[in-house]
Amino acid sequence: MHLPAIEQSTRVSEIFSSLQGEGLYIGQRHLFIRFEGCHLHCQYCDESEKPAIMMSLDGVMAKAIQMDQANGPHQYVSLTGGEPLMNLTFIKPLMMRLKEARFRVFLETNGVLWQALREVVEWCDCIAMDMKLASVTGERSFKIEHEQFLRVAKSRDVFIKMVISRGVDVEEFEDLVRIVAEVDATRPVILMPVSSQCEGHEDPGLMQILESMQRIGSRFVPDIRIIPRLHKILKIP
Ligand code: SF4
């Protein structure tokens, strides 16, 4: 039988304890493992400049356990990036080891690599998936990939995050919310203002757009909320 290669080391940007800054579980203490690298190039991304070091599976586990003892308890270990699913052969055994150590696994992902998700979904307790709007990211549309991703992810506790900017295309937004409604309308959708110094609070125009998107989206999915990023407001990592 052919077994997939297990990557025993990968590039990790940081491992740290902090408050979850985005989405449905905002404000909870999470232990973050941030992986280097992403296959997308969102125009608002602030992750690309973070330096990374090579770390082994044992090294990541040892650091996670040590940080949990020093700063825990943590509600979840959040695998984040970059795009953690690009490190499939590393995160698969890592997730298994985290579960063995009784951590709960939270996957933060851009919601595109659905084939990779299929390989690890059973070890995810919660999935925070992005739905990327081309009109906001400057990237191509990932509508088809997002739909496939949500179909795989819906076997777990999953919610959807969408970053909204002044350039948002309403039709594109409606298309994405309609996909959520078709796959599983009960999943929460979180709208976030595109990152700025104080999360759009000094931009009333953007806040009006967000409110209008919330109203439009609520015709398709009942649980759609506007939640700004906590770590930008509190100025924490
Ligand atoms: S998906 Fe996330 S990490 Fe990747 S480029 Fe976009 S914002 Fe950056």
Look at residue 28 and tell me if it is in a domain: yes
Each residue of 129-179: pLDDT tens digit?
999 999 999 999 999 999 999 999 999 999 999 999 999 999 999 999 999
Q: What are the DSSP calls for 172-196, one per residue?
A: HHHHHHHHHHHHHTTS-EEEEEPP-
Look at residue 169 and tell me if it is in a domain: yes
pLDDT at 197: 47
Look at residue 2 and tell me if it is in a domain: no
pLDDT at 203: 83
- Amino acid identity, position 58: D
Please give the distance, rounded to the nearest whole angstrom, from the Cα atom of residue 119 to the centre of ligand 1: 21
pLDDT at 46: 79
Please give the distance, rounded to the nearest whole angstrom, from the Cα atom of residue 37 to the centre of ligand 1: 9
pLDDT at 143: 98
- With a cut of 70, list the residues of the chain below it in pLDDT: 1-7, 48-50, 196-202, 237
Total tally of structural domains belonging to the chain: 1
Look at residue 76 and tell me if it is in a domain: yes
Distance CA 122, CA 117 (A): 9
E strand segments, 66-104? 76-80
pLDDT at 232: 74
pLDDT at 96: 97
Q: Which residues contact ligand 1 via a Cβ below 6 A? A: 38, 40-42, 45, 47, 81-83, 110
β-bridge partners, 158 = 127
Q: Pocket of ligand 1, candidates 11, 22, 41, 45: which has the most ligand atoms within 8 Å of its Cβ, to mutate?
A: 45
Residues 6+ apart with CB under 8 A from 59: 9
Shortest-distance Cα residue to atom 3 of ligand 1: 82
End-to-end CA distance of the chain: 44
- Domain limits for position 59: 9-228
Alpha carbon distances (Å) from 52 to 15, 37, 82, 91, 106? 10, 9, 11, 16, 21
Distance CA 36, CA 56 (A): 14
pLDDT at 81: 93
Please give the distance, rounded to the nearest whole angstrom, from the Cα atom of residue 173 to the centre of ligand 1: 18
Look at residue 233 and tell me if it is in a domain: no
Look at residue 4 and tell me if it is in a domain: no
Q: What is the CATH number of the domain that holds 58?
A: 3.20.20.70
pTM: 0.94
pLDDT at 1: 44
Look at residue 37 and tell me if it is in a domain: yes
